[in-house]
Structure 1
Amino acid sequence: MARQACRSLLSRIQTRISSPPQTRSLITGMRRSALKETLLRALRSEISYESSHLPTSPLETHFNSFTIDPREGEQWVSLTRSDDREEIKIDATLFDGSAPETRSGDVSDGSNQRLHITLAVEVSKKDSDSEPESESGGIIMQFLCSAWPDAMDVDRVYAGPRGIYAIKPYMGPEFKDLDEEVQKAVQDYLEQRGVNDELAAFLHKYAANKDRTEHVRWLQNIESYMKK
């Protein structure tokens, strides 16, 4: 009798042991579904809010004589300009830093910040079909610049052979350490090619709009993945 009771108890225990995994699987699935819906609701709410703050018009495709490639999904924007003699290529970051805003003679408390954008500017001469390639034709000029909200600063100047990229090229001294006449000549050179304070101000406006646009696209990509 006792043996039969033990068998009955073991049978009930085995039944209980065999059923929980299915129950747990169902509960886990329900929890996952609930979490997924919660995340999707949060994403849709954020997308709706951020979309309401997007610029009313699409990102510009031209600025002065530059053609703009927005490079969707990237933290860069490219600008190109070309004429019969030269080609200018610019790669600009979105906001990649900041510095305290100060007035002349004042010490900043750090509360106001000036956002910073880095520019890599490349100027190359076009080859002429009617003339043999000159020595300068095989050289490209590169400039590393800083775009502030109201100013374009030059940080470095580099001249190197076209199509050859050294692992660690000699970049010369910092721009601020060059002779003042050389600095002025370089600034005038870039000014004539549209790399100036006006471009810096435009890029800050453009970067702010692109950053909002990319943020919404990023949210939408996550939503698209989560819906699958």
Structure 2
Amino acid sequence: MVLRLLGRIGRRQSSIFSSPYLPVTPLVQPQHMYLSKQSTRSYASEMRKSAFEDRIRRLIRNDIQYELDRSPLTQLVPKFKSFSIDERTGEQWIRLNKEFSDNEEIKLEVTMFQVSTPPAKDGDVTTNNDQELYISMVIDIFKDEKSGILEFVCNVWPDSIEIDKVFMRDQDGMTGKPYMGPPFDDLDDELQTSLYDFLEARGINDELAVFLHKCMQHKSKNEYIRWMGSIESFVSRKK
């Protein structure tokens, strides 16, 4: 009797564990569920990236349009009086060239704006509020291979040119630490005036200073818009 009861209990336990109606929880998620979640995360990431890049492009286009509304993009004039002008697109400087008399060649290299305090005029007192834009300019004057190059380093203010240094150098550049002369302001006053007259005779004067400031304003704007455009193009580029 006892054995029959144990047998019945065993059969009932066996039938319970083998019942097809009990839920079975898998130990590993199906592959399609994992891929679905991964695809969702990837899609969301791409959407965020696209929205971020769209915002960058929109800001750039707005900034470019603002600059164009203020004044159109223009090419620099190719000449100023007897100087020819090389705009040097994509760079931070321009070059001017001219020939003077029968044996001189003059080259000017002009960089983009910097900020400083202009030189004080007689009786004037300068303050921090007097700061304004100026341009650095290097003037090279050639005669022949034997005579080397007479070089002037100048600051170009909105309506004047200020000589900072003048010295001689070889045609193939400077090596070591050559003597470059004393500060220009330490020279005899009459010699200083004569050197300004020397440049004046070659068309390097206050009128040129006014032109260069207008020229570099256009150059700065053009390069800024090109720079913004290149960034927008890079952000927009797809793989």
- Matched to 1:39, the amino acid is I
2-structure distance, mates of 1:159, 1:103:
29
- Contact 1:55-1:209 at 8 Å conserved across structures: no
- Contact 1:140-1:160 at 8 Å conserved across structures: yes
1:86-129, Cα deviation, whole Å (9 max, x unpaired) = 000110111022216867545444234221111111000147xx
Q: CA RMSD in A?
A: 2.7
Residue in 1 that maps onto 2:228 = 219
- Contact 1:101-1:112 at 8 Å conserved across structures: no
2-structure distance, mates of 1:32, 1:69:
41
1-structure distance, mates of 2:28, 2:61:
50
Please say which structure displays the higher CA radius of gyration: 2
Q: 2:136 aligns with which of 106, 118, 122?
A: 118
Larger displacement relative to structure 2 (4-13 or 169-178): 4-13
* CA deviation after TM superposition for structure 1 residue 56, in Å: 6.9
Q: Would the alpha carbon gap of residues 143 and 55 (structure 1) be closer, same or farther in structure 2, given more than 3 Å must change?
A: farther
Please state if 1:185 is matched with 2:194. yes
Residue in 1 that maps onto 2:67 = 50
How many residue pairs match? The answer is: 218
- Matched to 2:105, the amino acid is E
Q: 1:158 aligns with which of 157, 160, 167?
A: 167
Identity %: 39
TM-score by length of 2: 0.80
- Contact 2:109-2:138 at 8 Å conserved across structures: yes
1-structure distance, mates of 2:29, 2:72:
67
Please state if 1:144 is matched with 2:161. no
In structure 2, runs of 5+ residues without a counterpart are: 1-16
- Contact 2:140-2:152 at 8 Å conserved across structures: yes
TM-score by length of 1: 0.84
